[in-house]
Structure 1
Amino acid sequence: MPWTAADVPDQTGRVALVTGANTGLGLETAAVLAGRGATVVLACRDPEKAKAAAERIGGRTELLALDLASLASVREAAEEVRQRFERLDLLINNAGVMIPPHQRTADGFELQLGTNHLGHFALTGLLLDRLRDVPGSRVVVVASMAHRQARNGINFDDLQWERRYSRMGAYAQSKLANLMFMYELQRRLAAAEAETVALAAHPGFSTTDLTRYVPAPLRPFNTLLAAPFGQPADRGALPTLRAATDPLAMGAHYYGPDGPFEMRGWPVLKASSAAAHDESAQQRLWTISEELTGVRYA
């Protein structure tokens, strides 16, 4: 039997923070969790869109201003969470950008690395003490099957793409960084005997506004592929929901669709690339991420 949203257990009494919860996968993830009784914190960059999402979702939802492309915003958001909540049960690092023109974050990082990886790295580190002693707590990182395109791993010699920018190359590396962060975080949590575990998921080819930066000449091709290979956002959110709530899920598990090329289907355990499992690269990325963000994990 396929795993569906109906398999999400009761979440009453749990607190879940979902980044990028005002649209797409984040919205669908937050809606299911709220529907199962969780208090869901919608951590979003646009307050008006977040408010509209909360009205659509209903249930116990709270709003949190968060711009992952600004470390100042990340720190302010984390401090607000710490003031409002004594514990977190779920931290779902969902928000992201995909293949934009070359841009920098407020802190000077390449936008995709800064938003998809460094912003979430900082947020997780600043909130980890609200998770680590909570039984059943989880950190879920939303990655992408595009991580496989970073076949040579992380280019540490040009991490910020200052020499020659590739939209897809930068996106693939940021998603590889997501997985490497998850595996290293899980190893450290296990060594510390923390209650929290770290997992990851990818949505396959989901039709969301994440593709808004696809160059105009490629948009008809993207639309053409969506019909036979894509799936709607509510289906694309299922791997994330399974990683977050399946009682049988364990640390370092990685979920994705079971269909052809992992583009669509029901959520099952998947394998990530060899580059994602390079422990020396994971540790190097961790050290660099601490240096760049100024967030050091206890």
Structure 2
Amino acid sequence: MSTQQSTNSGFGHGSEPQDVLEGIDLTGKVAIVTGGYSGIGVETVRGLAGAGAKVIVPARNREKATANLSDVVGDVAIMDMDLADLSSVRAFADQFASEHDRLDLLINNAGIMACPLSRVGAGWEQQFGVNHLGHFALAQALMPLLEKTAKEPGSDVRVVALSSTGHKLSDIRWDDPNWESGEYDKWQAYGQAKTADALFAVGMNTRLAQHGGRAFSVHPGGIATPLQRHLDNEEMVALGWMNEDGELSEQAAKMFKSVTQGASTTLWAATAPALRDRGGEYCEDCDIAALADPENPSRYNTVQPYAVDPDSAERLWAMSEEMVAS
């Protein structure tokens, strides 16, 4: 079981990318950031490129990616990829490996939330398919390069998977992950996908640590971004996020982060020296989150034990391997 012990990082809810990246030099490092042309993904790319890394952004919409990244300073390249299409994912990985001899950082940032039932790949429920299985297949295809880089003296290879406090909505639906029976619940489906992202980091860390690399999952915080595009204002009012006039509610304004702050925990997990000998843990507000109390599971800065359970991580890994092989 993950210990989920705080590092006492000194950072927190309001930390900005420049705070967590102070003194970090990524010159010569190569990073991939999925979803790096929208919302907090842009700020993640900006932070990594600003610290000297070469950053590759896989994009389903190259034109949009080019426009959204136009003001990012540094070495940033866009390549074609669609997480919902495994042939596209594998083609991206093959092209990347043919053009690069190293991969230091893989940031699985792309995601969708609370969308109507739709199917991708081999009939997968869309949120599980895009948020987890697409990234799983990408990581599998890039594993040889991650392992090779991790073995180099002085390397600090890390994989960061974006989870969410939404993982508390659902464990993995082991008997029916694709909602082939029963009434579809878009929020439970989102919760399952975010639990899968956290468990993926546990499984990836087990494999990568053998070669000197590390993996973490991250809850970036509540942020108003295009992630909410499937929710109408009425639903966001009901959730307490918006007022009737379409403005952030007083409660949300206190809780939500800015888009730049939303990238900080990802950047911390990807670069913090304090994490060199850690791994497989769930991070929030630029530190390791505590394990949730079963009596009080909704508390912030905690992770449900089922989302960092190593046995569940191995079970999910085996299930995912079967699903992406079909």
TM-score, length-normalised on structure 2? 0.83
> Which sections of structure 1, spanning at least 5 residues, go unmatched?
258-266
Change (3 A) 1:219 1:62: same
**Contact between 1:254 and 1:269, CA under 8 Å: does it hold in 2?**
yes
Moved beyond 4 Å, runs of 4+: none
**Contact between 2:132 and 2:197, CA under 8 Å: does it hold in 1?**
yes
Give, in angstroms, the shift of residue 279 of structure 1: 3.0
Confirm whether residue 206 of structure 1 aligns to residue 223 of structure 2. yes
Distance 1:232 1:216 in 2: 19
| Number of residue-to-residue matches in the alignment | 282
User: 1:235 is matched with which residue?
Assistant: 261
Structure with the larger helix share: 1
1:135-154 superposed matches below 5 A: 135-150=155-170, 153-154=171-172
User: 1:262 is matched with which residue?
Assistant: none
**Contact between 1:21 and 1:53, CA under 8 Å: does it hold in 2?**
no
Match of 2:68 among 42, 53, 60: 53
Give, as a single letter, the amino acid of the residue that structure 1 aligns with 2:166. Answer: A
Distance 1:243 1:95 in 2: 16
Distance 1:60 1:280 in 2: 40
Confirm whether residue 256 of structure 1 aligns to residue 271 of structure 2. no
Confirm whether residue 23 of structure 1 aligns to residue 38 of structure 2. yes
**Contact between 2:283 and 2:289, CA under 8 Å: does it hold in 1?**
yes
Give, as a single letter, the amino acid of the residue that structure 1 aligns with 2:184. Answer: Y
Deviations 1:132-186 (CA, angstroms, capped at 9, x unpaired): 1322111111110110121xx2111111012221100000000000111111221
Match of 1:160 among 178, 181, 184: 178
Deviations 1:224-276 (CA, angstroms, capped at 9, x unpaired): 2432211111101100000001111121232212xxxxxxxxx2221321111
User: 2:305 is matched with which residue?
Assistant: 274
Confirm whether residue 128 of structure 1 aligns to residue 131 of structure 2. no
Match of 2:193 among 154, 174, 177: 174
* Identity over aligned pairs, percent: 38
Q: Which has the higher contact order (CA 8 A, sep 6+)?
A: 2
Distance 1:279 1:137 in 2: 21
Aligned partner of residue 58 in structure 2, secondary structure: strand
Aligned-residue Cα RMSD (Å) equals: 1.5
> Which sections of structure 2, spanning at least 5 residues, go unmatched?
1-9, 150-154, 243-248, 291-302
Distance 1:30 1:211 in 2: 21
**Contact between 1:242 and 1:255, CA under 8 Å: does it hold in 2?**
no
